[in-house]
Chains A and B, each alone.
Chain A
Amino acid sequence: MPVDPLQYTPKITLEFKIGEKDFYMAGESASRTKRTLQQLGLNQEVIKRVAIIIYEAAMNVTIHATKGVLKILIDPNEIDVITEDEGPGIPDIDLAMQEGYSTAPYEVREMGFGAGMGLPNIKQNSDELHIETKVGVGTTVKAKVYLKEGGFTSA
């Protein structure tokens, strides 16, 4: 009988420290969260969206900031992906939201990162997106994915 696993564990928090140019950790954080969500029996579509958000959010921190924390909060109604970083901040959020706009350094782009698809991908896959940023201080990104519409129908 399918049960809602979160009925018994009201809230799960995953946390990862992301360092500068620590690309592997950024990828790992998405993979590990994905595994947790699969174990919880969330549906494939939700898992895919959350994985994309985590990957891109973590990449943004690792590419642009000096350090940061990635938190994933899972409760029965929603999943929050939050990154808080110490870094340059975003001077113009509208510009940063444009697909293809990037301030990533050349060597990062050459590796296939920093294509200006990060924030647009996050926006596309989240139900809510909040960005707080202060130039020269850092950025907090909060992306929310709702689970109400069948997040637990693992079929």
Chain B
Amino acid sequence: MKVRELVSTLNLEVLTKKSDLEREIKGGYVSDLLSDVIANMGESYVWVTIQRHINILGVAKLKDVAAIVIPRNLTVGEEVIERAEEENIPILRTEKGAFEIVGLIFNALKG
């Protein structure tokens, strides 16, 4: 499934206006511990996290994420969004909590 399809299926908000949504998603991961993400997340995954500081982009880039998903409509700073656009990392957002959105993403990717 492509990022664009996930966005439309789950009605996600795209915070990064300039980013590639044509990437193919190979799986998903949820964690706020960056060491855990670095060690255990696969490449081209969607990453659900409540961390929103600039350094998540370093992790995202290293793991070549398909997209970052921010739950609970949490605020993401302008600086982070701009840098994500430069690095071509889509940041998506949902009003749902992490538990719920992870379940929905899981089903969407499985289906």
Contacts and interface: CB of A to CB of B under 8 A. Distances in A.
A118 B36 CA distance: 10
B39 to A, nearest CB: 5
A8 interface: no
B38 A111 contact: no
Contacts of A112: 32-34, 49, 51, 56
Contact of A118 (B35, B58, B61): B35
A138 to B, nearest CB: 22
Nearest to A48: B43
28 contacts: A23-B54, A23-B55, A24-B55, A27-B55, A27-B57, A27-B61, A31-B62, A51-B38, A51-B62, A52-B39, A55-B38, A55-B59, A56-B35, A56-B38, A59-B34, A111-B34, A111-B51, A111-B53, A112-B51, A112-B56, A113-B34, A113-B35, A113-B55, A115-B33, A115-B34, A115-B35, A117-B33, A121-B39
Interface in A1-55: 23-24, 26-28, 30-31, 34, 51-52, 55
Interface of B: 32-36, 38-39, 49, 51, 53-59, 61-62
Contacts, number: 58
Specify the main secondary structure of chain B where it touches its partner: helix
Given A56-B35, A117-B35, A34 B62 contact: yes
Interface string A114-141: 0101100100100000000000000000
Interface of A: 23-24, 26-28, 30-31, 34, 51-52, 55-56, 59, 111-113, 115, 117-118, 121, 124
